[in-house]
Structure 1
Amino acid sequence: MEKIRIKDIAERAGVSVGTVDRVLHNRPNVSAPAREKVEKALKEMEYQPNVYASALAYNKTYVFYALIPQHESEAYWEEIEQGVQKAIEVRRDFNINVKIMYYERFNNNSFIDCYTQCLASNPNGIIIVPQDIETTKQFTDILHEQQIPFVMLDSYMPDLKPLSFFGQDSFCSGYFAAKMLMLIASNEKEIMLFKQMKDGKVTSKQQVNREVGFRHYMHDHFPQIKITELCVPFKGTRSEYDAILKEFFEQHPDTHHCITLNSKAHIVGEFLLRNNMRDIQIMGYDMVAKNAECLRQGSMSFIIAQHGYQQGYSCVDTLFKAIVLKKKVQPVNYMPIELLTKENVDFYRRTQL
């Protein structure tokens, strides 16, 4: 298709080149009749502005912040960070910088300190992994007031009106997890639900919603199967976890299948391998290296993957499109609910975009 020049538009509309330029960049000092002529010419000529070239020509620097929980290496959040770094690399020409800040889960003061520092830097856009809704709302109210766009990651809180959200549909994910587990555990009398807790709570709203979906399926289809919770401390040591698990399996010798709704299935999986307990398996979330190895070794039955890398990439890319290119973006973006087994885990591409 032949490139349409500003000169061509000006001739078609019967106005000056300067007038066309002002209309294209939404600048003042254009009369209503002149603007109408230019807009009519643009429509007739099917003109499509090169938003990428315009953004490059503007040569502005953009700073985005990502507020995520503190985490260990080889965790789900590390995949998120790798996706963020890839997005920065891809958009290098547009002078985009993303600064990652970490807060402590369950610590509202840590989250508040984190977002206070963030606000002091006058960011152009923000990616948030939310804390509880009340504390997060304090932050997002300020962002709305200051007209700073923000994207939510992992846990969806629609009442806070984010620009966009990336993550799984937690209820459907938990429902799906139960359905897949029952393919191999339908004849069991009891299954174990492994939960990491702090102050009587699990580590995220997402896990709460997954459990609702999980229990909904079990209640409707396998009400006879007992779900026994095993709650362990959020930051326990291996020896602490081993002692708790040893006691549990001694007291529940008929339990052969377990599930956790977070990325730490390997805590149980590695215990089972070390103790040669080959008749027990656990199912869990996220394609992190330790989980994948447990799957290969047979102590883990399934992994539900959710493309953490893609989520991190997409959050940055969405802010880029909305803020730099001034494009409309998709408000809700549910990630795939993918089931990995020993047979297909090595073909999973976590960096696929």
Structure 2
Amino acid sequence: MDKKYTIKDIAQMAGVSKGTVDRVLHNRGKVSPAALEKINEVLNVIDYEPNLIARNLKSTKIYRVCVLLPDPAFDPYWLPCVNGIQDAITEFKAYSVIIETHYFNPESTKSFLKVNETIISQSPDAVLLTPLFHKETVEIIKQYDELGIMVNTFNNQVESSSVKSFVGQDLHKSGRVAASLMNLILNKGQIAIIHIDESLKNAVHMQEKEKGFRNYFDEKELSDFSLTTLKLKYSNIETKFTAFLEENPDLSGIFITTSKAYQIASVLSLATTKKIALIGYDLIEKNVNFLNQGKVHFLIHQNQKRQAYLGVSTLVEHFLFRKEFPDTILLPIDIINSENASFYF
């Protein structure tokens, strides 16, 4: 049962040529119905798995895929992506493909552009990136396109005809989900939509979440609610947000568009005894701690590990097996509270 079958083995067992087996396995060229039936019978008997045969396949072409990822040292949100990429590397290690991860500082456009220069110098076949900085990403994609380098994105979407495929969530819809949760918690009141650390004008993902959130309240005509937008930087979160609380004593709900809910929950724990509904994103440890303490009501899980894995595997399977790209792979919008959070670890 542990035998690793080669194309030659399968050809001998089916009584056909190696070329015919190769065409069936890689879905290329014409094969007669009789030959196809014989090969499929053999594949069923040996419980064929592509990876077992792949170790014995030889290719003159080595594909290089570069992943451009924000450095988890600056933001732990991206750490699961590293694991997702590693899963893809492990899965495809038997094939003629090189998968490399390049990290940039998510707080620096200069770092983002410099790492892209490094990637271009390596002339990869494809790049998987998350368009954290929208303006710079659009320009970079143009460069890749001119050089014949394929580009796919994950986590955040960017409007570009050069991008073949996107993996992530419907961010507008996730904003609406957050709004519907807030409406379940509160009957009325002032709600703050808080963006942390990134430039809102250059961060489409935060814009889409806010649009979805506001769209829900507008569509439902919930006039008993008032919505306010607040932008915060890491260096002044405590002082600026504390001042905001003092200026808005009737604040009853907060929606945070990034993975930094813990920073707001921490300030709330010290600044007020009033119960304020708090909804944020992502299952990073600090967020979950506040979720379990009841300081955060809900977290929306974006499953960034799965996003990164699918982003890489989609590219690799296109090169190796000529699989067509899906335009979009949308992941479910998971709602997490203190009762089900443990199941996601």
**Above 0.5 in TM-score?**
yes
**What number of residue pairs does the alignment pair up?**
326
Q: Give the secondary-structure state (helix, strand or coil) at the position aligned to 1:316.
A: helix
Matched with 2:243 is: 247
Q: TM-score of the superposition, structure 2-length normalised?
A: 0.82
Matched with 2:116 is: 115
Does residue 181 of structure 2 align to residue 175 of structure 1? no
Change (3 A) 1:74 1:197: closer
Matched with 1:29 is: none
Does residue 336 of structure 2 align to residue 330 of structure 1? no
Change (3 A) 1:50 1:193: closer
Q: Is the 8 A contact 1:9 1:41 kept in 2?
A: no
- How many Å separate the matches in 2 of 1:346 and 1:18? 50
- How many Å separate the matches in 1 of 2:34 and 2:257? 57
- Percent identity, aligned pairs only, is 22
Structure 1 vs Structure 2 CA RMSD: 3.1
Report the Cα offset of residue 242 of structure 1.
1.8
Report the Cα offset of residue 50 of structure 1.
7.3
Report the Cα offset of residue 263 of structure 1.
0.7
Matched with 2:212 is: 213
- How many Å separate the matches in 2 of 1:307 and 1:57? 33
Report the Cα offset of residue 22 of structure 1.
8.8
Q: Is the 8 A contact 2:191 2:251 kept in 1?
A: yes
Report the Cα offset of residue 134 of structure 1.
4.9
- How many Å separate the matches in 2 of 1:7 and 1:343? 54
Report the Cα offset of residue 329 of structure 1.
3.8
Q: Is the 8 A contact 1:197 1:203 kept in 2?
A: no
Q: Is the 8 A contact 1:126 1:148 kept in 2?
A: yes
Tell me the amino acid that sits aligned with residue 325 of structure 1.
F
Q: TM-score of the superposition, structure 1-length normalised?
A: 0.80
- How many Å separate the matches in 2 of 1:51 and 1:342? 41
Matched with 1:280 is: 276
- How many Å separate the matches in 1 of 2:107 and 2:305? 24
Matched with 1:163 is: 164
Tell me the amino acid that sits aligned with residue 111 of structure 1.
F
Tell me the amino acid that sits aligned with residue 210 of structure 1.
K
Does residue 225 of structure 2 align to residue 225 of structure 1? yes
Report the Cα offset of residue 25 of structure 1.
9.7
Q: Give the secondary-structure state (helix, strand or coil) at the position aligned to 2:223.
A: coil
Q: Is the 8 A contact 2:182 2:277 kept in 1?
A: no
Change (3 A) 1:125 1:340: same
- How many Å separate the matches in 2 of 1:215 and 1:160? 28
Report the Cα offset of residue 193 of structure 1.
1.6
Matched with 1:84 is: 85
Q: Is the 8 A contact 1:269 1:281 kept in 2?
A: no
Q: Is the 8 A contact 1:195 1:232 kept in 2?
A: yes
Matched with 2:203 is: 204
Q: Which runs of 5+ in 1 are unaligned?
A: 11-16, 27-34
Q: Is the 8 A contact 1:55 1:324 kept in 2?
A: no
Matches within 5 A, 1:252-267: 252-267=248-263
Q: Which runs of 5+ in 2 are unaligned?
A: 1-8
- How many Å separate the matches in 1 of 2:150 and 2:202? 26
- How many Å separate the matches in 2 of 1:80 and 1:7? 42
- How many Å separate the matches in 2 of 1:319 and 1:171? 26
Q: Give the secondary-structure state (helix, strand or coil) at the position aligned to 1:339.
A: strand
Q: Is the 8 A contact 1:105 1:203 kept in 2?
A: no
